[in-house]
Amino acid sequence: MAKRKKNNTPDQEQERLRQEAQAKKAAERALKPRTWSEHIGQARMKRVLQVQLKSAAERFERLGHLLLIGGPGTGKSSLAALVAQETGDQFRDLMITPNFKIAGLNRILQDLDPATGHVVLLDEIHNFTKSQQHYLYSILQEGQISHDNGKVTPLEVDVTFIGATTEPGKLTKSLYDRFDIVHRFADYTDEEMAEIIKLLCVRLGVPYTEEQALALGKASAGTPRQARTLVLAARDVGEAQPDLVFDLCGITSDGLTEDHVSYMQALKDLGGTAGIENLANHSGRPKEILFEIEKLLVKKHFIELGKGGRALMGTGSSALRRAVQAKEETESKVMA
Ligand SMILES: Nc1ncnc2c1ncn2[C@@H]1O[C@H](COP(=O)(O)OP(=O)(O)OP(=O)(O)O)[C@@H](O)[C@H]1O
Ligand SMILES: [Mg+2]
């Protein structure tokens, strides 16, 4: 990575930032699964998708528009890239931010090379407003682009749209129904996460043992992006030694951050069961933040959401104990 130079002129600084962004992108690309078998897990989805791809190819048709539903960092974009690789189409990855303009999408679609087919990924598609979603489905269904001046022109290129979303509930039913194929990512098991860890270790030249891979896999909390963060930290440490990696990343062996641990600690302080208001008051954090934090705790069955409020489960108590213990051990090592 380019080093910051104290006496850089604004131009040099801009160039440094450009190089840094490029290096980051290159590293990102270098760690993406390049083949279907490198995209670990999701066996059923990949099998069905490959049948659908083969069947479309045999009919000399394009694959229908595809919607991928899955949590953040679970491999949606990587899978979309593999689909484009399989169909031999050009791949365009568009991040839909909350202020994304339809006019911008129109321009991109009109500039696509008509000499080849295209797969266009609309990542975080739920960020389109309701009215933009209404507009989108005329593109998906009729292949028509409506312009600001009211003119409607046909989309002159062959495009398969892939929508990717972490929040399918924010899609209007009409848009949802325009996708010919909908696939939902399954949860990754700890063993699958360990496979991802091993693959990334090999790519980055980090030595590992089976045991270390399993420990890092478990701490990846079912999220390949977290696995990548852990392996990048292992590279910095020089080995896949779990305790060193967890310490560097500030997570526990269960893949919990400080926020998760203090959430569970607050719940414990309140007697093991508490309503969200009570929890918010006690921990001094807004409810909305707690809703985000608790997602992983619910997924791991560390807490349960019931009528009486949030309840800390036995597995959660054990995870909390492990976290507190590990923290104490690290602190005593630092003091020594
Ligand atoms: N199934 C997998 N097998 C191996 N590596 C994976 C897998 N899924 C994701 N990865 C790794 O995790 C990284 C992040 O995956 P990706 O960007 O595809 O996730 P995403 O679901 O699109 O994330 P976001 O919700 O942020 O858009 C990839 O670059 C790759 O290194
Ligand atoms: Mg993505």
pLDDT in tens, 254-303: 999 999 999 999 999 999 999 999 999 998 999 999 999 999 999 999 99
- Alpha-carbon distance of 264 to 167, in angstroms, equals 25
Task: Using the Cα atoms of residue 205, residue 209, residue 212 and residue 217 in order, give the sign of their dihedral.
Answer: positive
User: Domain 42-184 carries which CATH code?
Assistant: 3.40.50.300
- Percent of the chain at pLDDT above 90? 77
Helix (H, G, I), strand (E, B) or coil at 310: strand
Q: What is the pLDDT of residues 78-103, one digit of tens each?
A: 999 999 999 999 999 999 999 899 88
pLDDT at residue 245 in the model: 96
269: helix, strand or coil = helix
pTM: 0.86
CB of 122 closer than 8 Å to CB of 96: yes
b/e 179-208 (16+ beta carbons within 10 angstroms → b): bebebebeebeeebbbbbbbbbbebeebeb
d(CA 261, CA 300): 13
The verdict on the CB of residue 217 being under 6 Å from ligand 1 is no
**C-alpha to C-alpha distance for 144 and 154, rounded to whole angstroms:** 4
Domain assignments of the chain as residue spans, ordered by start: 42-184, 190-244, 258-335
Ligand 1 atom closest to the Cα of residue 28 is 29
User: What are the beta bridge partners of residue 161?
Assistant: 120
Instruction: Give, using CA atoms, the residue closest to atom 15 of ligand 1.
Output: 75
DSSP helix/strand/coil, 311: strand
Contact 65, 180 (CB under 8 A): yes
The answer to whether residue 3 scores a pLDDT higher than 60 is no
Task: Give the domain 258-335 fold.
Answer: Arc Repressor Mutant, subunit A (1.10.10)
**Is the confidence at residue 17, as pLDDT, over 90?**
no
Ligand 1 mutation pick, 39, 42, 77, 78, max ligand atoms within 8 A of CB:
78
Q: Relative to the alpha carbon of 217, which ligand is closest?
A: 1
pLDDT tens-digit readout, 214-263: 999 999 999 999 999 999 999 999 999 999 999 999 999 999 999 999 99
pLDDT at 1: 43
Q: What angle do CA 278, 284, 287 make, to 5 degrees?
A: 60
Determine if ligand 1 sits within 6 Å of the CB of residue 70. yes
Q: Please, are residues 192 and 216 in contact by the beta-carbon 8 Å criterion?
A: no
Quick check: 88 and 63 in contact, CB under 8 A? no
CB 119 within 8 A of CB 89: yes
DSSP assignment of 277-307 equals HHHHHHHT--HHHHHHHHHHHHHTTSEEEET
Q: Report CA(315)–ligand 1 centroid distance (Å).
A: 28
Q: Average pLDDT in the 309-315 region?
A: 96
- Average pLDDT (146-161) is 87
Q: Are 90 and 120 in contact (CB under 8 A)?
A: no
> Is 80 exceeded by the pLDDT of residue 321?
yes
Query: What does the pLDDT look like over 34-76, one tens digit per residue?
Result: 999 999 999 999 999 999 999 999 999 999 999 999 999 999 9
Q: Chain-centre distance of CA 236, in angstroms? A: 23
Pocket test for ligand 1, best of 225, 230, 231, 295 (most atoms within 8 A of CB): 225
Average pLDDT over residues 170-189: 94
Whole-number pLDDT of residue 2? 44
CA distance 61 to 157: 14
Our answer on whether the CB atom of 41 is closer than 6 Å to any ligand 1 atom is: yes
Is the beta carbon of 120 within 6 A of some atom in ligand 1?
Answer: no
pLDDT for residue 20 is more than 90: no
